[in-house]
Structure 1
Amino acid sequence: MPRSQIVHDNFLRRVPVGDFPAGRSPAPGLTAAAAVAVYRAQVASRALDLQARAMQKAGQGFYTIGSSGHEGMAAVAAALRVEDMAFLHYRDAAFQIARADQVPGQTPIWDMLLSFASSSEDPISGGRHKVLGSKALNIPPQTSTIASHLPKAVGAAYALGLARRRPPEHRSMADDAIVVCSFGDASANHSTAQGAFNTAGWTAYQHIPLPLLFVCEDNGIGISTKTPKGWIEAGFRARPGVKYFKADGLDMYETFAVAKEAADWVRKRRKPAFLHLRTVRLYGHAGADLPTTYMPREEVEAEEANDPLLHSVRLMAEAGAMAPQEALQIYLDTRERVARVAAEAVTRPRLNDAKGVMAALIPPARPCRPTNGPAEEARAAAFGAELRQMAEPQIMSKLINWALTDLMLEHGEIVMMGEDVGRKGGVYGVTQKLQARFGPDRMIDTLLDEQSILGLGIGLAHNGFLPMPEIQFLAYLHNAEDQLRGEAATLPFFSNGQYTNPMVLRIAGLGYQKGFGGHFHNDNSVGVLRDIPGLILAVPSDGAEAVRMLRECVRLAREEQRLVVFLEPIALYPMRDLLADKDGGWMRTYPALGERTELGTVGVHGDGTDLAIVTFGNGVYLSRQAQADLAAEGVSARVIDLRWLTPLPEAAMLEAVKGCARVLVVDECRRTGGGPSEAVVSALTLAGVTGVARLAAEDSFIATGPAYAATMPSREQIVAAAKAALA
């Protein structure tokens, strides 16, 4: 017999005879009416778990990771406010149902059954995934990625304090709100979670407001791996900067009292707290999981005997809130109601084509206040004597710095964060003087943790800020890339566009740094970024293009709520010359305010018809050199700067190569490592373009020292490849 049926039968058998597990007397604080409401939410959650299994067996449902044993989270919801944004563990259906009681007109059972059935009418995900979440209940949806929601919860809590000082245009959270973030004991061990706990403590230790309540639902096991007894308490009772609270999650009265105490402490102190809840896991991890295959039957049965619903019935009886027979009737009525509603939910339409599935990949545009650029007085105060330098050609790093200054003057909701971006002004000086110009709460020096940097950005976006995080080097992104893939990019997808993560992530990267750093500081891998649906990847090639593209990236994030990565070629930051020493051929003047390079456009240098060289980033610089060498030998070439690597500007690229006898695609990324040239060659070929050749980097890491560029295309190699293509 399935364990779910055993637990159900036990409840029906034990309640009428008063066979309840032992426990404490009801703690004060929960009124009779509130206790009954919490119990109803617990019962609804349990009924949904049972129904999910029945739906799966009938081929009508597609998700069975349930909340049974974790029903105590209903009492946590009762202790909080709807205004408190909640990032939930996937076992927290009881929390969402209990919170729905606080908002008129909610239909949580119907909504969740639509989600179980993958109906396109599911109000949170539109049928794309079974997720907890509700815009009306202030619960952004989460996928089941382990612990990946903790860094953004830290960021959202930080955003509450920042919004008090600098209210953004699209602010969504109340001044006195807190953020709650729940997870399991197994997830607490994940590096992502540990980074979030450390960042929260690190922040609070410096007396920076961070009103965040972590809730660890400790059922003692992660699928089949046991959590050592006492491990969670040992790790968190005395953690610096984070206040520890503990409650028995099987006891809804104690859970409510302690959760209320913890939430009040966080709300008043504006500091993070850790609520450690004891829970049990009933039925195993999911529908296909048989706990008796890896746990002794006696242990499984002992957990089942500690059913939190049995505890709730006993406690309500002792408190005089409800008699056991009434509680049993609510259980039976709820089971019948859920089954009846499910019969209707499974008839509702589902997604059935790629267009429907992909409709939420791109978030909706939002109305923004019109801007006319920064005021001249503000610019004069910020730039000082540098205003006079803008008429003279400058290197890329200086021009990006000026662009960031103007953007931050124009848009007060822009906040930058990253390691060394403030006092130091960045490793390469790109953000120099910005902290002095805008203050440390808009130029945030973070701790050394890429997951926390991105989490801070994602969380800030939840409260209306326009974050511009910086990852110091492209190779460092790989420590945290799931914050983009599993959180930022998927949020509009799993919320049907109701929640978004607009941001512009700046990364210094690519290769060609002379003799510095090897593959940790020279990384020519962009495959992971090009692989994320909905993400825009921009790569400038010179300073003026960097300014114009950065302005467009900010517009895309601010107005169209897009997730944008702006990848800045490190080797081109200081580049001055192009063809000869001191020719100044790669320096540019600062583009006039308002000039932008639109998404989907390409840059074209020259009008040669013998050869089109299609490239990006450092490849543009090298190809412009090769273009001059080829011209000296009578070959007329044009260089096409892709600018936007995702989505690839195919239409503009195809138009730009028209009239050319041959096309050479130059890619500084690895030949088989997901570089853009694979897609470029494919697009050209499918469009009927003939005479296409390709030059890409070797499938290798980058070396330190004299061989720093040995594995990537060079000026000489581009010339040779061009001649071979024309032969």
Structure 2
Amino acid sequence: MSTQNLTLVQAVRDGMKTEMERDDDVVVLGEDVGKNGGVFRATEGLYEEFGEDRVIDTPLAEAGIVGTAIGMAAYGMKPVPEIQFSGFMYPAFDQIVSHAARLRTRSRGRFTVPMTLRAPYGGGIRAPEHHSESKEAFYTHEAGLQVVVPSTPHDAKGLLSASIRDPDPVVFLEPKLIYRAFREEVPDDDYTVELGEAAVRRDGTDVSVFTWGAMTRPTLEAAENLEGEIDVEVVDLRTLSPMDWDSIVESFKKTGRAAVVHEAPKTGGLGAEIAATIQEEALLYQEAPVKRITGFDTPFPLYALEDYYMPEAHRIEDGIREAVEF
């Protein structure tokens, strides 16, 4: 099988291209996704290849973009709308949770919404306000939505293809901090990475660390730095809804200790849900409280202060030590 050495954003583009070649019902729409190729160039070249009927430049109107995509999906198309930054999704929130998430239930299965809503998300690129939020927990709370966050180019393409082929709506959050941070061999052929399956990125016996998206790399760096002191297992969840609870519980039963790393605020974050489920499913294996290593309960800060807000390897190391030394 031939491969290409791609960045994550190139893998996203390749995933869209592959699915558009496979299925004429797949269309891309959003602000500047056509001739301009998108704010991060994730759709670069698609307009020239597939034309204006399948790569559609829209007005700056998030509710209109998502509402139009829902209508397309309900009547048989497979739209892939892009919101330029996840912090701009709020004007479309009603469309996402009141219509996309509920249409299958409200219509008793008559309609489904095979829509994949893409958005760059997370911090670390020194963007202005409303550009760096990590609000994935909003969407996991809504039954009927699937929430996907890739951490590698290979997974980005495979998860995006799986999302586009899925009959139900997916919120596909792309960690822009690692859009061009590294490259990986990605197959040219079409393939999928199954939704709802976590990946063990590093085996370990002393503590399980659960993370996703851009936080996977500093978590792995912290685990490597602790080698010889603490044997860290790193589990990349990849899909936040549905969550791979079996893998979480299985890993925790092996180690008896856990930490969760995410850049979203601590209060109401998914770290709390993971900790609660561990309590419910594996309490008798627990040797220490579950440590949450997260962003802070503040608005996302501007510019250099991002370095203090986002978990980085040294802060993750300290959190892992706390979980193990309790």
Give yes or no for TM over 0.5: yes
Deviations 1:29-70 (A, max 9, x none): xxxxxxxxxxxxxxxxxxxxxxxxxxxxxxxxxxxxxxxxxx
**Partner letter of residue 177 of structure 2?**
A
2:294 to 696, 704, 712: 696
Residue 503 of structure 1 aligns with which residue? 115
CA distance in 1, matches of 2:99, 2:80: 16
Residue 175 of structure 2 aligns with which residue? 569
Question: Where in structure 2 are the equivalents of 1:645-684 lying within 5 Å?
Answer: 645-672=240-267, 674-684=268-278
Question: Cα distance 1:655–1:594, how it changes in 2: closer, same or farther (>3 A)?
Answer: farther
Residue 609 of structure 1 aligns with which residue? 205
Residue 637 of structure 1 aligns with which residue? 232
3-state SS in 2 of match to 1:589: strand
Deviation of 1:392 after TM superposition, in Å, equals 4.5
3-state SS in 2 of match to 1:400: helix
Residue 28 of structure 2 aligns with which residue? 416
CA contact (8 A) 2:202 2:220 kept: no
Bigger CA radius of gyration: 1
Deviation of 1:405 after TM superposition, in Å, equals 0.8
CA contact (8 A) 2:212 2:237 kept: yes
Deviation of 1:592 after TM superposition, in Å, equals 5.3
Deviation of 1:591 after TM superposition, in Å, equals 2.9
**Partner letter of residue 680 of structure 1?**
I
3-state SS in 1 of match to 2:209: strand
Residue 204 of structure 1 aligns with which residue? none
Deviation of 1:655 after TM superposition, in Å, equals 2.2
Residue 127 of structure 2 aligns with which residue? 516
**Partner letter of residue 650 of structure 1?**
W
**Partner letter of residue 201 of structure 2?**
H
- Where has structure 1 moved over 6 Å in runs of 4 or more? none
Deviations 1:126-153 (A, max 9, x none): xxxxxxxxxxxxxxxxxxxxxxxxxxxx
CA distance in 1, matches of 2:88, 2:206: 41
TM-score normalised to the size of structure 2?
A: 0.94
Question: Cα distance 1:447–1:624, how it changes in 2: closer, same or farther (>3 A)?
Answer: same
Deviations 1:417-460 (A, max 9, x none): 00011111111111100000100110100000000000110111
Question: Cα distance 1:482–1:525, how it changes in 2: closer, same or farther (>3 A)?
Answer: same
3-state SS in 1 of match to 2:60: coil
3-state SS in 2 of match to 1:725: helix
3-state SS in 2 of match to 1:498: coil
Gaps of 5+ in 2: none
Deviation of 1:643 after TM superposition, in Å, equals 0.8
1:400 aligns with 2:12: yes
Gaps of 5+ in 1: 1-386, 577-586
CA distance in 1, matches of 2:318, 2:74: 51
Deviations 1:201-244 (A, max 9, x none): xxxxxxxxxxxxxxxxxxxxxxxxxxxxxxxxxxxxxxxxxxxx
CA distance in 1, matches of 2:221, 2:187: 24
Deviation of 1:398 after TM superposition, in Å, equals 1.0
Residue 144 of structure 2 aligns with which residue? 534
3-state SS in 1 of match to 2:215: helix
Deviations 1:639-660 (A, max 9, x none): 1001111122111222233422
**Partner letter of residue 495 of structure 1?**
S
CA distance in 2, matches of 1:467, 1:391: 27
3-state SS in 1 of match to 2:291: strand
CA contact (8 A) 2:18 2:190 kept: no
Residue 493 of structure 1 aligns with which residue? 105
The size of the alignment, in residue pairs, is 321
CA contact (8 A) 2:83 2:119 kept: yes
1:459 to 34, 57, 71: 71
Q: Which has the higher strand share?
A: 2
Residue 147 of structure 1 aligns with which residue? none
CA contact (8 A) 1:545 1:597 kept: yes
CA distance in 2, matches of 1:392, 1:456: 34
**Partner letter of residue 509 of structure 1?**
Y
Deviations 1:648-676 (A, max 9, x none): 2111222233422421111211111x321
3-state SS in 2 of match to 1:726: helix
Question: Where in structure 2 are the equivalents of 1:358-369 lying within 5 Å?
Answer: none
Residue 59 of structure 2 aligns with which residue? 447
CA distance in 1, matches of 2:74, 2:159: 25
Deviations 1:87-130 (A, max 9, x none): xxxxxxxxxxxxxxxxxxxxxxxxxxxxxxxxxxxxxxxxxxxx
Residue 476 of structure 1 aligns with which residue? 88
Residue 298 of structure 1 aligns with which residue? none
CA distance in 1, matches of 2:84, 2:270: 22
CA distance in 1, matches of 2:142, 2:256: 34
Deviation of 1:411 after TM superposition, in Å, equals 0.9
Higher relative contact order (CA 8 A, sep 6+): 2
3-state SS in 2 of match to 1:710: helix
**Partner letter of residue 677 of structure 1?**
G
